[in-house]
């Protein structure tokens, strides 16, 4: 079932029109201090993500990509600056406030899966939807839909430990999308996958985006980033450039996509 099919219902809560800003940061800073050493992981980052937009974040190791994602999802507090989500300033939320916000509006996909080992695949995928207010039937139907799209319906009653790494990542993605979050944050979702499993994950991300899902994804792979509408490059914790992906007609031995740099 697509996002539009559920509009008008109370679950899940829907963001505004597709031309509105879903996520915005202003002068965002994250500083780590330990043993007298200060590290500025994020330095004055200003970014925007529109409703329904797919943005990839790239950059060398240590550039602040994963830190940015964790701060935007409230997993780590910002040192300074502002975060606005769905028109509300959220950087000052308490730990409990962030937990409620994530439950209702933010889905996470981590590089190392983070599945609940004492629960079955079905329970892992259904839990976020139930926490967001879905009925058991809605959660079950959504789980069946996602696992079928990822080709792992037969793993519903299995424990995560009995799955391959690729299968676990597909379950993690299904879990993140189960409650149809306003924003999906993905941290290197294909970083530990082979080419076959990468294709499966990217296929669902592409499908989710086509259905209107807003996605902010960290990746080091240019092929993965090519799925996005825009690519933001970080360097030393700052935005080095922000490029919009512009599709051009495919030709034999031609270029598939070009980057149109914003001036």
Q: Does the pLDDT at position 229 exceed 60? A: yes
Q: What is the mean pLDDT of residues 197-222?
A: 88
CATH of the domain at 32: 3.40.50.300
Mean pLDDT of the chain: 84
What ranges in 150-235 are assigned the alpha helix state H? 165-177, 195-210, 222-225
pTM exceeds cut of 0.75: yes
- 9 within some domain: no
Q: Which pLDDT tens digit goes with each residue over 2-49?
A: 443 343 344 344 455 545 899 999 999 999 998 888 999 999 999 999
The region that residue 141 occupies, defined by phi over 0 for left and psi between -120 and 50 for alpha, beta otherwise, is alpha
Determine the Cα–Cα distance for residues 237 and 189; give it in Å rounded to an integer: 21
- 11 within some domain: no
Q: How confident is the model at residue 248 (pLDDT cuts 50, 70, 90)?
A: low
- 148 within some domain: yes
What is the gyration radius of the CA atoms in the chain, in angstroms? 18
The boundaries of the domain holding residue 40 are 20-261
Q: How confident is the model at residue 194 (pLDDT cuts 50, 70, 90)?
A: confident
Taken as a whole, the chain contains a residue count of 263
What is the 8-class DSSP label of residue 212?
Answer: T
- 212 within some domain: yes
Q: Does the pLDDT at position 83 exceed 70? A: yes
Domains in the chain, number? 1
- 92 within some domain: yes
Phi/psi of residue 195, nearest 5 degrees? -65, -35
Which of these, 257, 166, 252, lies nearest to 204 by C-alpha position? 166
- 85 within some domain: yes
Q: Which residues of 27-37 are buried (b: 16+ CB within 10 A; e: fewer)?
A: ebbbeeeeeee
Q: What is the mean pLDDT of residues 241-258?
A: 62
- 5 within some domain: no
Which of these, 108, 115, 110, lies nearest to 168 by C-alpha position? 115
- 7 within some domain: no
| Cα diameter, the chain | 57
Handedness of CA 252, 255, 257, 262 (dihedral sign): negative
DSSP 28-77: EEEEEEETTEEEEEEEEE--EEETT-EEEEE-STTSSHHHHHHHHTTSS-
């Amino acid at each position: 079932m697509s996002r539009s099919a559920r509009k008008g219902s109370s679950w899940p809560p829907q963001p505004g029109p597709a031309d509105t800003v879903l996520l915005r940061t202003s002068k965002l800073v994250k500083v780590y201090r330990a043993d007298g050493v200060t590290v500025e992981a994020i330095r004055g980052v200003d970014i925007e993500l529109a409703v329904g937009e797919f943005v990839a974040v790239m950059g060398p190791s240590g550039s602040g990509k994963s830190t940015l994602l964790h701060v935007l999802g409230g997993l780590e507090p910002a040192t300074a600056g502002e975060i606005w989500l769905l028109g509300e300033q959220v950087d000052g939320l308490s730990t409990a406030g962030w937990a409620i916000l994530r439950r209702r509006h933010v889905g996470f996909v981590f590089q190392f899966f983070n599945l609940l080992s004492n629960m079955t695949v079905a329970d892992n995928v259904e839990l976020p939807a139930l926490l967001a207010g879905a009925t058991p039937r809605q959660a079950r139907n959504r789980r069946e839909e996602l696992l079928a799209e990822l080709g792992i319906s037969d793993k519903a009653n299995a424990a995560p430990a009995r799955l391959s790494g690729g299968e676990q990542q597909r379950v993690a993605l299904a879990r993140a999308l189960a409650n149809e979050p306003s924003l999906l944050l993905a941290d290197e979702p294909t970083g530990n996958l082979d080419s076959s499993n990468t294709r499966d994950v990217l296929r669902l991300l592409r499908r989710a985006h086509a259905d209107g899902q807003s996605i902010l994804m960290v990746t080091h792979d240019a092929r993965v980033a090519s799925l996005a509408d825009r690519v933001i490059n970080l360097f030393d914790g700052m935005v080095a450039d922000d490029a919009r992906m512009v599709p051009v007609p495919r030709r034999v031995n031609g270029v598939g996509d070009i980057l149109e740099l914003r001036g």
